[in-house]
Amino acid sequence: MTTLSPTPYPLDHLALRGAPDAVALVAGDEPLTFAGLDAAVGRMAFALMSKGLEPGDRIATWMGKTRMACLMPLAAARAGLVHVPINPVLKHAQAAHILADSGTKLLIGNRGRLDSLGTGELACANAIALEDWADGAEALPPSSCDPNDLVALLYTSGSTGRPKGVMLSHTNLWLGAVSVARYLGLSPSDRTLCVLPLAFDYGQSQLLSTWAAGGCAIAFDYLLPRDVVRAVGRHDVTVLAGVPPLWLQLAEQDWGDAGRSLRTLTNSGGHLPERVVRRLRALFPEAKLHLMYGLTEAFRSSSLDPSLVDANPDSVGSAIPFAELMVVRPDGSEAPAGEEGELVHAGPLVAQGYWHDATRTAERFKPAPGFSRLGGIAVWSGDTVAKGEDGLLRFRGRDDAMIKVAGNRISPTEIEEAALASGAVSEAAAFGVPDARLGQAILLVAVAKGQDAEQRLLTWFRRELPAHMLPQRVMWKLELPVGPNGKLDRAALKAELA
C-alpha cells in the first residue's frame, strides 16, 4: 500500500490502495480483494459507457448496500461520470425530485423501487433493474481525469426546502478519505462495518477512508440495533461509525464478547450526549472514541483526539487534516476564545457548491474571512460554536435553532443533554415556541424511560437548571422521528408541532 499522500488523484484510484490479495469489500457472501475490486470497477465502468453515456453525465443508484452500490462511486469516477446515490429509504416522490433536479441519464435500482416510479417521474432517466445488470466484457483502465472534475452529487436531507445536491470533486472525496484515514489511524488490518447509508457523506466516508488505508469495508444493512451487535462479533469488526440515535440504541445493548474486536468508534451527525459518551467508554475501554463534526458541504471538519474525550466529552475537537476552521463574529472578525460565533470551513475539502442553485450557493459558499490562512471560497456553516482556551471547539447549535428566553440565548443541546442526564428520558428534543411574556419559551419533546418519568424529570430540572432554562412544557411521545440518514429529523418534528 502506498503512503497517504495529500496529492489528490482520480477517485477510482482508491481501488489501487491495498495489497492486491487483501480483502477490500464484503458485500453479501463473496469477498472481493483489492485486485478484484479494481477489475470489477473497470468492468462496471466499461458497461456504463456502453449505455451511450457521455463524460459528465449523471448516473444514479437507488438500492441497499449491494456490491454495485459500494462499487459505483469508483466505477462512475473511472467512466468520467457523476454519481448520484439515492438513499434507499426515500420514497418515490423524493427519488423523483433527485432524478429530475440532477438531470440523471441512467438510474439503476431494485426492480421494486423502479416499479414505484410513474412514467412521468422516470422521464428524466433511463432505468435498469439491478437484477438485470451485467458488467462489461472488457475493463476500463484507471482514470487520468482532472482531480478537480465533478464526480458526485450528494443530496442533503432537505431540512429546509427540497433536497439540494452538493457538488463534490475527485479532490474533495480523495482528500476527505485520506484525511479521515489519517486522523483515525486506519490501517490495512482494519475491518469497517458500514451501517450508515451510502448516500450520506458520513456513510460514503466509511467506504472511502477504509479503502484509502488498504482496509476491508463490510457492507451491512440492519433492521434492529441487535443486528449490529451480532455483525460486529461475526466479522471481528474493528471500526464502527454511528450517528447519535444509533449510538443511543447501541449503548443500551448487551454486548457480551461481541465488541472486543472494536478499536475505533466514531460519531458525527449531531451532538452525542455525555451520558452516552460515558457508557461507550465503559463498554469499550480499549476502543478509541472520536467525537466529530461535519457537514456535507465540506465532507468533514473536526475531530476530538480520543485521549481528550474523557476530560472533554462536550467537544468536537479541532480541524482535521486539510481543513481550516474559524469561529467568526457577525462583523466578519475572528471570535476570541470563549466567544460564540459561526463556524467557517476553508480549504480543499470545501465542495463546489449546490447543483444548479446559484442563489443558495451564494448564501453558503462565500469568500473566506480576511484573517483566513488558506483563503479562497469557504463554506459558512450556519452553526454556532465556541473555541475554548484549550483550542477545542464546542458545538452550540444552529443559529436559527437557538432559543431566546427573556434575552438569554439557550442552545437546545443544553436542554436535551440535561434531560438525558436525568435518566427519565431515552430521547429528547428542545424547541423555542412563541411566548408573549418571554419572547420564546422552551418546549421539550421526550420519550419516557421508566416509571414516573415526568416527576423525575421535573425534579431533576428544578435541581440542575436555572429558572430561565426550565422547559415551560414537556410533550411525551412514543418515539422521535429520524430522517433518511438516521439523524433526528428536527424539521419533521417541528412541522408536526406546528
Domains of the chain, start order: 11-221 (3.40.50.12780), 402-497 (3.30.300.30)
Count of CB atoms situated within 10 Å of the CB of 382: 16
- Chain segment 287-329, per-residue pLDDT in tens: 999 999 988 899 899 999 999 999 999 999 999 999 999 999 9
Residue 188 has pLDDT above 60, yes or no: yes
Averaged pLDDT for residues 433-452: 88
Cell of 107: 438510474
More confident residue, 498 or 153: 153
| The pLDDT value given to residue 449 | 93
pLDDT of residue 5: 61
Grid cell of 316 as nine digits: 468536537
pLDDT tens column, 124-135: 789 999 999 999
pLDDT at 112 over 50: yes
Main-chain phi, psi angles of 45, to 5 degrees: -65, -40
Measured distance between the N- and C-terminal CA atoms of the chain, rounded to whole angstroms: 54
Q: What is the predicted pLDDT for the residue at 50?
A: 95
pLDDT-based confidence at 400, cuts 50/70/90? low
CB atoms near residue 80 (< 10 Å) = 22
323 and 347 Cβ atoms separated by less than 8 Å: yes
Q: Pick the residue with more confidence: 11 or 464?
A: 11
Which residues, in sequence order, are CB contacts of 246 under 8 Å at separation 6+?
A: 195, 225, 228, 486
Closest CA to 169 of 259, 267, 77, 49: 77
Reply yes or no on whether the pLDDT at 381 is more than 60: yes
Task: Assign 456 a pLDDT band (cuts: 50, 70, 90).
Answer: very high
Residue 308 burial (CB < 10 Å; 0-12/13-18/19+)? Answer: middle
Non-local CB neighbours of 216 within 8 Å, separated by 6+ positions: 22, 23, 24, 25, 26, 190, 191, 192, 210
Instruction: Give the separation between CA 498 and CA 493, rounded to whole angstroms.
Output: 9
Tell me the residue type at 290. H
Instruction: Please give the mean pLDDT across all residues of the chain.
Output: 92
- Residue reference for cell 475572528: 334
**Is the confidence at residue 4, as pLDDT, over 60?**
no
399, pLDDT greater than 80: no
**Which of residues 404 and 69 earns the better pLDDT score?**
69
- Beta-strand pair 106-109/58-62: parallel
Please give the average per-residue pLDDT across 244-271, as a whole number. Answer: 92
The per-residue pLDDT for 163 is 80
Mean pLDDT value across residues 467-483: 90
Confidence of residue 3 (pLDDT cuts 50, 70, 90): low
Per-residue pLDDT reduced to its tens digit, 345-364 = 999 999 999 999 999 999 99
Encode pLDDT of 190-232 as tens digits.
999 999 999 989 999 999 999 999 999 999 999 899 999 999 9
Which range is least confidently modeled, 59-63, 430-434, 437-441?
437-441
Torsion sign (Cα): 262, 268, 270, 274: positive
Using a 10 angstrom Cβ sphere, with 0-12 exposed, 13-18 middle and 19 or more buried, the burial of residue 188 is middle
Q: Indicate the SS3 state at residue 482.
A: strand
Q: What is the pLDDT of residue 403?
A: 83
Find all residues with CB under 8 Å of 6, minimum gap 6, and list them. Answer: 175, 178, 321, 322
DSSP string of 212-241, one letter each residue: HTT-EEEE---SSHHHHHHHHHHHT--EEE
Residue pair 166/304 in contact (Cβ under 8 Å)? The answer is no
**161: confidence class by pLDDT, cuts 50, 70, 90:** low
Query: Are 172 and 195 within 8 A, CB to CB?
Result: no
pLDDT of residue 406 exceeding 80, the answer is no
Residue from 191, 196, 208 nearest 9 by CA: 208
pLDDT tens-digit series, residues 260-272: 999 999 999 878 8
pLDDT band at 160 (very low <50, low <70, confident <90, very high): very low
What does the pLDDT average to over 16-43?
Answer: 96
**Set of cell numbers at residue 403:** 432559543
Unique residue bearing C-alpha cell 440515535: 245
pLDDT of 2: 40
Collapsing DSSP to helix, strand or coil, 121 comes out as coil
CB contact set of 301 (below 8 Å; sequence gap of 6+): 292, 293, 294, 295, 319, 320, 323, 325, 343, 345, 349, 381
Q: Which amino acid is at 268?
A: S
Going by C-alpha positions, the residue among 206, 178, 60, 71 that lies closest to residue 121 is 60
Q: What is the pTM of this model?
A: 0.85
- pLDDT confidence band for 159 (50 / 70 / 90): very low
Q: What is the pLDDT at residue 185?
A: 97
Q: Check residue 485 and give its pLDDT.
A: 78
- pLDDT per residue as tens digits for the range 409-423: 687 888 988 899 899
Confidence of residue 158 (pLDDT cuts 50, 70, 90): very low
What pLDDT shows up at residue 484?
A: 82
Which H or E element spans position 343? strand 340-346
Tell me which of 101 and 4 has the higher pLDDT. Answer: 101
**Torsions phi, psi of 13, nearest 5?**
-70, -10
Whole-number pLDDT of residue 329: 96
